[in-house]
C-alpha cells in the first residue's frame, strides 16, 4: 500500500516501527541466548525492590496474585500439611499454582516464581500420591538405581500438581537415632548416603557430560529442581537433639557430613538448604566460611542457597530476638533465598534498609539474584511458566505404586528367623486354617507412612490411598485361610482360637523434626504387652514399623521371627510379598541396632562397638539362624578394624560376611 504522507514522514514512521520492534526484543527472553547473557541482561534491568523480592520465599497461606505482583516475590512454598483444600485434586493444585504465577508474570519484567514443597518420600503432602519408604528404609536397600527411579516417579507426581521444586533429598548422616529426623537419613555411613544422591538425577534428569561443574541442571517439564539438605552436619548434633550443636573437628565434619554434598553438586543439584544446627557453636545459617567460602567458592556451587523455615530467625536466641541482625547475618553469610515464610514485609523492609546503608553490599544481592535466575532459566520457567494438567494422571499412578512396593520389599531387614536352627518361621505358608494379625500398626496407613505424610507430623488413620499390611496379608493368603485381626488381644482370646501363627505389627507413632526427639527409644505401650501376649501364646513374627532402631532387647527372645520394616509408605503389599515367600529378604541394616540407649551414640567403626544387630546385618530366609551370632561378631570385629584401616577393613568385612553366608546356605 502506498504511503499517503510525505516521504520524510513515511521514513520516520518506518524507523519508529523498527525501533518499537527492537524495544520488544529483550535478550533475557530469548532462549537462544547463552545462559549468562540472559542472566546479566535481566539483572541489569532490575531495581533493588525487584531483586530483594526474588530472594523471598513465602508460604502459600499468605500469598496471592496481588502479593506476588506488588512485592516481586520470587518463590512460594507449601509447608507440611499446607494444601489448597483437604483432599485437593491435581487440578486444585495446578489452579492455585497458576494463580500465583499469573501475579508474577504481570510484573514489569515478568519473572516467573518457583513453587517448592517437601516431597521427601513421594509427593507426600498430596492426597492420593504414592508414598515411598522413608530414607532409612531406602538406605537398607543399598540400591541407588532404585532410588533414582523413585526420584523420577516423584518428579512426575510433583509436576502433576503444577509444582516445580522439591525440598529433597535429605543427605544428613544420622549418627544418633535419638534424633527426630533420623528416618530422613539414608544411613549412619556417609558412603551409603553418597550413593543415594542418585535421587537427584532422578528428580532433575542426568546432567550432560559437558556440563560445567557446579551448574544446576533440570532436564525438562517432567523434572523438578532438587534440594540437597541440610548443610551441614545436622545428623551429628549432640545427644541427637534437633537443631542442636554438632561438636566435631574439621576433619570429622568434612569426612562424615560433607561428602554427599560433593556428590550432589557434581550431579547438578539446583539448590542447597542450610541446616538449623550449629557447628561448634556457630549457627550454620550465619556461617560465611562454610556457605560462601566452602560451598560456593571451594566446591563451585552455582545454584542458590536457601534457608530452612524461619531459619534466619533462629540465628538469635530466642528466635526472632533481633530480626534485622538475623537478616544481615544470614544474607551476608551467603543465603540467597530466605524461607521467611510469613512476614515477608518485615524481611523486605529490613533487607532494603541494610542495602541502602551498605551493611549488606549490593554485590551480595546481585550474587543471590544471579543464582536464583540461573536456576529459573535452566529449568525453562521463562519459556513454560504456567502449569497444566498434562501430568495429572501421574499422581498415584499404578506403575509408581509398583515401584514403591518393590522398594518396600528391598528395604525389609530380617533380624531373626527361628528360636533355633530347625525352627525357622519364615516364610509363612499361605494356606492355614486360621492366622492372627495383631498390633496397632497392622491396619493403619498413617502409622505405616510416618511423618511428612498428608500432615507435617503425619497422622494416625487411613487418610490417603494405599494398602495396609492387614489388607496385604488378606489378599496374599489362600482363600481358605481365615485371617483374624485383633489390635491388642489377650492371652485367652489367642489360646481359645487355635491360631497356627500370628503376625504382630507394632511401632512408633508418626512424628517430625523436634517432636520426634526421643531419649529412651522404647516401643510405646501397648506394643510391648501385645508382643508378650501374642508371642507367649503362639508362634509369631513381629514386624516393627519405626523410623530408627528401638530398644527391644528384652523382647527379642519371645519372638520367633523379627523384621525391621522401617516406615514403608503406602504400599504395604511389599511386606506380604516377602513374609509369605514370593521374594526373599535382601535388606541390610543401614544403621547400627543398639542394645541399650546408654550405648548411644554408637556407630560402625567405634572403638567400643557392641550392638544387638550390627551395621550391615540382615538375614535371608535361606540363611541358617545359627550363623546369626557368628555374622554379628564378624561384623563387629570388622568395625573395630575399620577404625584404623577403613578401606581394607571394609574389604575384609565384605569377603568375610559373604563367605559365612555362602556356607550357611
Report the catalytic residues: 308, 513
For the record, the C-alpha cell of 456 comes out as 507435617
CB atoms closer than 10 angstroms to residue 16:
10
Contact (Cβ atoms closer than 8 angstroms) between residue 541 and residue 579: yes
Please give the Cα distance from 269 to 374 (Å, whole number): 12
Task: Decide the pairing of beta strands 304-306 and 338-339.
Answer: unpaired
Please give the Cα distance from 216 to 198 (Å, whole number): 15
Burial 155-169 (b: 16+ CB within 10 A, else e): bbbbbbbbbbbbbbb
In the chain, the N- to C-terminal Cα span, in Å, equals 92
Nearest 5 degrees, angle CA 205-CA 207-CA 210? 155
**Spatial CB neighbours of 38, under 8 Å, sequence gap ≥ 6:** 27, 28, 30, 373, 377
Q: Report DSSP letters for 400-466, one per residue.
A: HHHHHHHHHHHH-EEEEE-SSTT---PSPPS--SEEEEESTTTT-HHHHH-SSBSBSS--SS--SS-
For the record, the C-alpha cell of 515 comes out as 517432636
Task: Label residue 528 exposed, middle or buried (CB < 10 Å: 0-12, 13-18, 19+).
Answer: middle
DSSP 72: T
**For residue 442, which of 488, 399, 409, 475 has the smallest C-alpha distance?**
488
Q: Which residues lie across from 543 on neighbouring strands?
A: 505, 563
For the record, the C-alpha cell of 121 comes out as 518420600
Please give the Cα distance from 421 to 620 (Å, whole number): 13
For the record, the C-alpha cell of 171 comes out as 543427605
DSSP 264: H
Please give the Cα distance from 226 to 228 (Å, whole number): 7
**For residue 631, which of 654, 603, 651 has the smallest C-alpha distance?**
654
For the record, the C-alpha cell of 442 comes out as 497392622
Backbone angles phi, psi at 166, to 5 degrees: -115, 130
Count H helices and E strands in the chain, helices first: 24, 17
Contact (Cβ atoms closer than 8 angstroms) between residue 171 and residue 136: no
Sheet holding 278-279, edge to edge: 245-246, 278-279, 282-283
Amino acid at each position: 500500500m502506498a504511503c499517503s504522507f510525505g516521504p520524510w514522514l513515511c521514513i520516520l514512521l518506518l524507523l519508529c516501527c523498527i525501533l518499537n520492534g527492537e524495544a520488544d526484543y529483550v535478550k533475557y527472553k530469548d532462549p537462544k541466548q547463552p545462559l549468562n547473557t540472559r542472566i546479566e541482561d535481566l539483572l541489569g534491568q532490575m531495581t533493588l525492590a525487584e531483586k530483594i523480592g526474588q530472594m523471598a520465599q513465602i508460604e502459600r497461606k499468605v500469598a496471592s496474585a496481588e502479593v506476588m505482583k506488588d512485592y516481586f516475590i520470587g518463590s512460594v512454598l507449601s509447608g507440611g500439611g499446607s494444601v489448597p483444600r483437604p483432599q485437593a485434586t491435581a487440578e486444585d493444585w495446578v489452579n492455585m499454582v497458576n494463580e500465583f504465577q499469573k501475579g508474577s508474570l504481570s510484573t514489569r519484567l515478568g519473572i516467573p516464581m518457583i513453587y517448592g514443597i517437601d516431597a521427601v518420600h513421594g509427593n507426600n503432602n498430596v492426597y492420593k500420591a504414592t508414598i515411598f519408604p522413608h530414607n532409612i528404609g531406602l538406605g537398607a536397600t543399598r540400591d541407588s538405581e532404585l532410588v533414582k527411579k523413585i526420584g523420577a516417579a516423584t518428579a512426575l507426581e510433583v509436576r502433576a500438581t503444577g509444582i516445580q521444586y522439591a525440598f529433597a533429598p535429605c543427605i544428613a548422616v544420622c549418627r544418633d537415632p535419638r534424633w527426630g529426623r533420623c528416618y530422613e537419613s539414608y544411613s549412619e555411613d556417609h558412603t551409603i548416603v553418597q550413593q543415594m544422591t542418585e535421587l537427584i538425577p532422578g528428580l532433575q534428569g542426568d546432567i550432560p557430560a559437558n556440563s560445567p561443574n557446579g551448574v544446576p541442571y533440570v532436564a525438562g517439564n517432567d523434572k523438578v529442581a532438587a534440594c540437597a539438605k541440610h548443610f551441614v552436619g545436622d545428623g551429628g548434633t549432640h545427644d541427637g537433639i534437633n537443631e542442636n550443636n554438632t561438636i566435631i573437628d574439621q576433619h570429622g565434619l568434612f569426612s562424615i557430613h560433607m561428602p554427599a554434598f560433593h556428590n550432589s553438586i557434581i550431579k547438578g543439584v539446583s539448590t542447597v538448604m542450610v541446616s538449623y544446627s550449629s557447628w561448634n557453636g556457630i549457627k550454620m545459617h550465619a556461617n560465611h566460611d562454610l556457605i560462601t567460602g566452602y560451598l560456593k567458592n571451594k566446591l563451585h556451587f552455582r545454584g542458590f542457597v536457601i534457608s530452612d523455615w524461619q531459619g534466619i530467625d533462629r540465628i538469635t536466641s530466642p528466635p526472632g530476638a533481633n530480626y534485622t541482625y538475623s537478616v544481615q547475618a544470614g544474607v551476608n553469610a551467603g543465603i540467597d533465598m530466605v524461607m521467611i515464610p510469613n512476614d515477608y514485609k518485615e524481611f523486605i523492609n529490613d533487607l532494603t534498609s541494610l542495602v541502602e546503608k551498605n551493611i549488606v553490599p549490593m554485590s551480595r544481592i546481585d550474587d543471590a539474584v544471579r543464582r536464583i535466575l540461573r536456576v529459573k532459566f535452566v529449568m525453562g520457567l521463562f519459556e513454560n511458566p504456567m502449569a497444566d494438567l498434562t501430568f495429572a494422571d501421574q499422581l498415584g499412578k499404578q506403575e509408581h505404586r509398583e515401584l514403591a512396593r518393590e522398594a518396600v520389599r528391598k528395604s525389609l531387614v530380617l533380624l531373626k528367623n527361628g528360636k533355633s536352627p530347625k525352627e525357622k518361621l519364615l516364610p509363612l505358608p499361605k494356606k492355614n486354617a486360621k492366622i492372627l494379625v495383631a498390633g496397632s500398626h497392622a491396619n493403619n496407613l498413617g502409622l505405616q507412612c510416618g511423618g511428612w505424610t498428608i500432615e507435617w507430623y503425619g497422622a494416625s488413620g487411613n487418610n490417603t490411598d494405599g494398602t495396609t499390611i492387614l489388607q496385604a496379608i488378606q489378599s496374599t493368603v489362600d482363600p481358605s485361610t481365615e485371617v483374624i485381626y485383633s489390635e491388642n488381644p489377650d492371652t485367652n482370646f489367642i489360646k481359645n482360637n487355635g491360631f497356627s501363627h500370628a503376625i504382630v505389627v507394632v511401632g512408633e507413632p508418626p512424628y517430625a523434626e523436634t517432636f520426634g526427639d526421643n531419649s529412651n527409644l522404647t516401643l510405646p505401650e501397648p506394643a510391648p504387652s501385645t508382643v508378650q501376649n501374642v508371642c507367649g501364646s503362639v508362634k509369631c513374627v513381629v514386624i516393627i514399623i519405626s523410623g530408627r532402631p528401638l530398644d527391644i532387647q528384652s523382647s527379642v527372645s519371645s519372638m520367633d521371627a523379627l523384621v525391621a520394616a522401617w516406615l514403608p509408605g503406602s504400599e504395604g503389599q511389599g511386606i506380604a510379598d516377602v513374609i509369605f515367600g514370593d521374594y526373599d529378604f535382601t535388606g541390610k541394616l543401614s544403621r547400627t541396632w543398639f542394645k541399650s540407649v546408654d550405648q548411644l551414640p554408637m556407630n560402625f567403626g567405634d572403638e567400643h562397638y557392641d550392638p544387638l544387630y550390627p551395621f550391615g546385618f540382615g538375614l535371608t530366609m535361606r540363611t541358617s539362624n545359627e550363623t546369626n551370632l557368628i555374622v554379628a561378631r564378624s561384623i563387629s570385629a570388622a568395625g573395630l578394624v575399620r577404625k584404623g584401616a577403613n578401606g581394607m577393613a571394609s574389604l575384609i568385612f565384605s569377603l568375610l560376611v559373604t563367605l559365612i553366608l555362602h556356607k550357611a546356605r
